[in-house]
Amino acid sequence: MRVDAAIWIREFAALVDAHAEELTALDAAVGDADHGTNMRRGLAAAVAALDDSTPATPAEMYKQTAMALIRGIGGASGPLYGTFFLRFGTAIDSGSGTADFARAFRAGLEGVIARGKAEPGDKTMVDALAPAADALDEQVAAGTSGPDALDAAVAAAETGRDATTPLIARKGRASYLGERSAGHRDPGATSAVLLVRAARRALR
């Protein structure tokens, strides 16, 4: 049982498309009201690239996706999601089990942290991705695999996302608001949950 690369990307695009208005509304409260539009445009470009040519290996597919997202999303989120997929793709190599997925997911998270210089609690996408990575590691250590491990990752990401609401943003445009950023759920953590949910849907 593995997360299929092409299905993951397509499911992420579908979820972003379905939640684009919500993402933009969240960004309107703390940023510049473009997160949904930007994410939708970037993922549409990633899907178009897949439709155009399907790379031979998952690593190449993730790299192609990363480039489409970096070019297509723009702002801060493009390079961050691009870095996630670049690092994930390099780390997953030819691995296919839940442990491989967990290891590659953490590599992706570490890429995002290195790129964005955000830590857990800064009210960013890291607040959803880090708990998901921790949950995956715990599930793997407990011998759980497949759907149950991914379900735990989704639940952890959602809990992390919801925990961003009372936080004061310390990174990104929302940080300009200072204390006024509190009381709003973070758009990046919200789209990051969709990334994890898409992976769950891509289990084959």
34 near Mg ion, rule: CB under 5 A: yes
Residue that the structure tokens 């509190």 belong to: 182
Tell me which of 1, 18, 21, 32 binds Mg ion, using CB under 5 A.
Answer: 32
- In angstroms, how far is CA 106 from the centroid of its own chain? 12
Task: By CB under 5 A, tell whether 186 contacts Mg ion.
Answer: no
Choose the binding region for Mg ion from 18-26, 32-40, 61-69, 82-90 (rule: CB under 5 A).
32-40
Q: Which residues pair with 166 in a beta bridge?
A: none
- Type of residue found at 60: E
User: Would you tell me how many other CB atoms lie within 10 Å of the CB of residue 156?
Assistant: 23
Query: Whole-number minimum distance, CB 152 to Mg ion, in Å?
Result: 30
Q: Which of 31, 72, 116, 188 binds Mg ion (CB under 5 A)?
A: 31
Cα–Cα distances in Å, from 128 out to 52, 55, 60, 123?
Answer: 31, 29, 26, 9
Stretch that binds Mg ion, among 5-13, 34-42, 45-53, 139-147 (CB under 5 A): 34-42
Residues at the contact surface with Mg ion, assessed by CB under 5 A: 27, 31-32, 34-35
